[in-house]
């Protein structure tokens, strides 16, 4: 569909209107500018409109309700209130609340090979809101032929401009040499909601809107899929599009060169500097980056087109005389209006009121200053608000006398200034809940779980820890062996061994256990500081507690533990109270020596039990590792009813296939697999415990396992 302007249009003074981006701040500011143009009888002569992002929201509603906006003031007010009501619906947070659910549905659809659905994406949900609450299912082809509207978007595929209009879509394409040219694409199925969503899906929150040729009713030869994002990325003022429309490529088709004036409503503000040094989280950083990008684009466009022919700028940063300003605000507070956030969340009545009034006042002030001779109808009205009950029922608030104030409450002017300071900050999480939105109630139990789960887990963990501590204390009080295990685990490594007095002898007496039976042999082997490598020198620690029973045939009541050959005498000490012992070793010969511990148990009555408690450092080669396998050896030197062994395994290393073999001390080749009574692997593989029933005396027991790391 080609729109051309005939001779009759040339006889009428025509104007252009450019509506910049800037979220709902821009939408409301533009509404005030448009109302002034209506009151000055200029709106009806607008023949071309370019709009970006938040400006597209207003432009699409304007062209869709062109007769109402150009009707009497009551008709204009009625149409404007529809736009204000939409702006106050908290669109962004509504999408935030629904997006996790929609995303889950999309994932479910993909899992059953149904493909993702655009209406379940954030950009698609924005499009659905536009369709449901503002534009309906009206297509771009259904819009009035005039004025000609161009809703601008940024084509991420080619890094160029894309303009939706009544005749379809103007897409900037890149030639092989890098030059840009426009290509008219028939996109007859494009709806107003789709075009506005593509123009206003600001990056940082909305992903690009992905549209296929079928979605827009275009041919696949034109494009397969488009990725469109906020038009402000390419042209945040909308004036560059007028530059293209006036160029030789599009001039004859759209006659934009015949425009007497182009009114540029620019809601881009001076960039707000953050004084705090915090970087912010992921969402805040993304939104902040978008602000920086759009501000930079706005600066470049403003510099490039500041002297654009016949352009009249209505910048939101302009201040006006207080009697014409919204709520009679002084210039210092008017500057706060330009800093209201560029967002799509809920805008309060005060924010709506001030933005619209400010747009009206700025347009009136500049037109009366620069275009007074061209205004066919002088505008007597000072300001205008779309709200039924405005905060100010008169053009200006009465000024308080300079004498002592009659009230200690802040004036409406001061109250407005304070609220405006808060309006400049974008709220991400504090405004998510809305009692009027069902999705808020869906997240209440989720939020309760998130908030209450950590304290509950912490409480249960502390309770469990307290219970375990009580159990451990009870176990410690009933078993000195368990008490020693807990003591060892309370420290990163084994304790130091006190060295007993050593008696040097020429010859030792040798092993002597006659007359004593071992009822229970408890052993704790601490390998935590043994690194499991082939390096030597990291000796394991051993704690042994043997319950002995003295028989009638004991020799002199002495028990002697000994070793005939060793490279160095181990560091061994007795912890048995009231048991005297002598530690002897021979003079080293060829680097080897023998040692023995002689315990005097003559004072122990026959038939009585006694605890023999030893601790010491074993020989470095007691544990070894090679080829991904490790082993530890221990020796049973006397008959024992039960031997219980705890191995504190090396820290930070995983293992499996734990097995035990035994062989006589003097016949290492006679190995047999031993099946213990029980094996317990405690949490994280940090400790292994096994029990041997009636182990054989004068035997060595070898524990083997494989490393898995």
In 612-701, which residue ranges form alpha helices assigned H by DSSP?
A: none
Q: Which residues contact 639 (CB under 8 A, 6 or more apart)?
A: 517, 518, 697
Segments of the chain scoring below 70 in pLDDT: 1-12, 269-288, 290-291, 293-299, 301-307, 322-324, 326-327, 376, 388-408, 410, 425-435, 472, 475-476, 531-538, 554-555, 564-570, 677-685
CATH no. for 491-707: 2.60.40.1730
Task: Give the residue among 287, 380, 338 at the shortest CA–CA distance from 36.
Answer: 380
Instruction: Tell me which long-range contacts 476-485 makes (C-beta under 8 A, separation of at least 24).
Output: 480/545, 481/522, 481/524, 481/545, 481/644, 484/524, 484/543, 484/545, 485/524, 485/646
The CA distance from 391 to 387, in Å, is 9
Task: Give the residue among 353, 314, 324 at the shortest CA–CA distance from 337.
Answer: 353
Task: Give the residue among 431, 258, 216, 215 at the shortest CA–CA distance from 341.
Answer: 431
Beta bridge partners of 653: none
Q: Is the dihedral of CA 213, 218, 220, 224 positive or negative?
A: negative
Let me know: does 258 contact 10? Beta carbons within 8 Å: yes
Helices 91-111 + 122-130 axis angle, to 10: 120
**173 to 154, 156, 161, 231, 312: CA distances (angstroms):** 12, 12, 9, 16, 30
Let me know: does 159 contact 61? Beta carbons within 8 Å: no
Dihedrals φ, ψ of 643, to 5°? -120, 120
As a residue count, the chain comes to 709
| CB-count exposure of residue 345 (10 Å: 0-12, 13-18, 19+) | buried
Question: How confident is the model over 85-132, as pLDDT tens digits?
Answer: 999 988 888 888 887 787 888 788 878 878 778 878 888 899 999 999
Task: Specify the pLDDT at position 352.
Answer: 93
Task: Specify the pLDDT at position 32.
Answer: 95
DSSP helix/strand/coil, 400: coil
The CA distance from 701 to 637, in Å, is 11
Task: Specify the pLDDT at position 394.
Answer: 38
Task: Specify the pLDDT at position 20.
Answer: 94
Q: Quick check: bond before 147 cis, omega within 30?
A: yes
Q: Which residues contact 186 (CB under 8 A, 6 or more apart)?
A: 168, 217, 218, 219
Task: Give the residue among 703, 23, 663, 702 at the shortest CA–CA distance from 346.
Answer: 23
DSSP helix/strand/coil, 402: coil
Residue spans per domain, the chain: 15-89+139-271+282-387+413-424, 491-707
CATH class entry, domain 15-89+139-271+282-387+413-424: alpha beta
CB atoms closer than 10 angstroms to residue 464: 10
Task: Specify the pLDDT at position 315.
Answer: 93
Question: How confident is the model over 396-450, as pLDDT tens digits?
Answer: 443 434 444 555 676 777 777 777 777 776 565 556 666 677 777 777 787 788 8
The CA distance from 615 to 649, in Å, is 18
pTM: 0.65
Strand 541-550, strand 516-526: pairing = antiparallel
Let me know: does 655 contact 705? Beta carbons within 8 Å: yes
The CA distance from 63 to 42, in Å, is 15
Longest dimension (CA), the chain: 136
The CA distance from 651 to 540, in Å, is 13
């Amino acid at each position: 569909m080609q729109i051309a302007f005939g001779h009759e249009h040339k006889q009428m003074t025509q104007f252009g209107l450019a509506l910049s981006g800037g979220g709902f701040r821009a939408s409301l500011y533009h509404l005030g500018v448009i109302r002034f143009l209506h009151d000055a009888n200029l709106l009806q002569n607008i023949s071309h409109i370019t709009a970006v992002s938040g400006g597209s929201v207003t432009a699409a509603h304007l062209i869709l309700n062109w007769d109402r906006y150009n009707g009497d003031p009551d008709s204009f007010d009625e149409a404007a209130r529809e736009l204000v009501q939409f702006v106050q619906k908290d669109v962004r947070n509504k999408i935030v609340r629904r997006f996790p659910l929609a995303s889950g549905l999309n994932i479910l659809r993909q899992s059953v090979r149904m493909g993702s659905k655009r209406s379940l994406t954030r950009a698609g949900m924005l499009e659905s809101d536009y369709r449901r609450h503002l534009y309906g299912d009206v297509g771009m082809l259904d819009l009035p032929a005039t004025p000609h509207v161009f809703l601008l978007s940024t084509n991420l595929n080619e890094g160029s401009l894309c303009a939706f209009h009544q005749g379809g879509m103007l897409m900037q394409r890149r030639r092989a040499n890098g030059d840009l040219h426009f290509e008219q694409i028939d996109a007859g199925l494009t709806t107003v909601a789709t075009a506005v969503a593509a123009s206003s899906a600001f990056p940082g929150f909305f992903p690009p809107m992905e549209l296929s040729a079928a979605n827009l009713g275009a041919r696949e030869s034109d494009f397969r899929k488009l990725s469109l994002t906020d038009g402000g990325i390419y042209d945040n003022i909308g004036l560059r599009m007028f530059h293209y429309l006036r160029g030789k490529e599009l001039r004859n088709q759209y006659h934009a060169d015949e425009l007497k004036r182009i009114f540029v409503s620019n809601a881009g503000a001076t960039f707000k500097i953050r004084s705090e040094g915090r970087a912010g989280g992921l969402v805040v950083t993304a939104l902040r980056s978008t602000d920086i990008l759009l501000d930079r684009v706005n600066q470049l466009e403003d510099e490039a087109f500041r002297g654009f022919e016949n352009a009249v700028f209505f910048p939101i940063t302009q201040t006006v005389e207080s009697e014409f300003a919204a709520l009679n605000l002084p210039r210092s507070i008017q500057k706060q209006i330009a800093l209201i956030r560029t967002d799509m969340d809920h805008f309060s009545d005060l924010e709506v009121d001030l933005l619209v009034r400010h747009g009206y006042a700025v347009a009136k002030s500049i037109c009366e200053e620069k275009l007074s001779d061209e205004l066919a109808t002088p505008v007597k009205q000072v300001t205008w608000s779309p709200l039924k009950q405005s905060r100010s029922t008169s053009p200006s608030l009465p000024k308080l006398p300079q004498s002592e104030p009659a009230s200690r409450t802040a004036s409406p002017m001061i109250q407005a200034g304070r609220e405006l300071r808060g309006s400049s900050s974008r709220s991400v999480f504090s405004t998510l809940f809305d009692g009027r939105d069902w999705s808020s109630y869906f997240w209440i139990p989720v939020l309760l779980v998130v908030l209450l789960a950590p304290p509950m887990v912490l409480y249960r963990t502390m309770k469990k820890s307290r219970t375990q501590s009580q159990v451990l204390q009870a176990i410690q009080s009933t078993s000195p062996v368990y008490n020693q295990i807990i003591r060892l685990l309370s420290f990163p490594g084994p304790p130091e061994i006190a060295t007993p007095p050593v008696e040097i002898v020429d010859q030792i007496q040798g092993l002597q256990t006659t007359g004593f039976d071992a009822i229970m042999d408890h052993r704790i082997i601490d390998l935590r500081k043994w690194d499991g490598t082939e390096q030597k020198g990291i000796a394991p620690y051993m704690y042994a507690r043997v319950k002995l029973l003295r028989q009638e045939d004991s020799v002199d009541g002495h028990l002697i533990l000994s070793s005939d050959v060793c490279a160095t005498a181990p560091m061994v000490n007795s912890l048995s109270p009231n048991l005297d012992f002598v530690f002897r070793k021979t003079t080293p010969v060829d680097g080897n020596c023998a040692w023995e511990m002689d315990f005097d148990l003559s004072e122990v009555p026959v038939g009585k039990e006694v605890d023999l408690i030893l601790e010491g450092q074993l020989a470095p080669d007691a544990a070894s590792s090679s080829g991904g396998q490790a082993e530890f050896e221990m020796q049973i030197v006397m008959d024992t009813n039960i031997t219980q062994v705890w191995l504190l395994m090396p820290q930070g290393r995983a293992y499996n296939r734990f097995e035990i073999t035994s062989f006589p001390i003097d016949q290492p080749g006679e190995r047999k697999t031993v099946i213990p009574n029980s094996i317990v692997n405690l949490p994280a593989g940090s400790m292994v415990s096994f029990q041997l029933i009636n182990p054989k005396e004068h035997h060595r027991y070898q524990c083997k396992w494989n490393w898995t790391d």
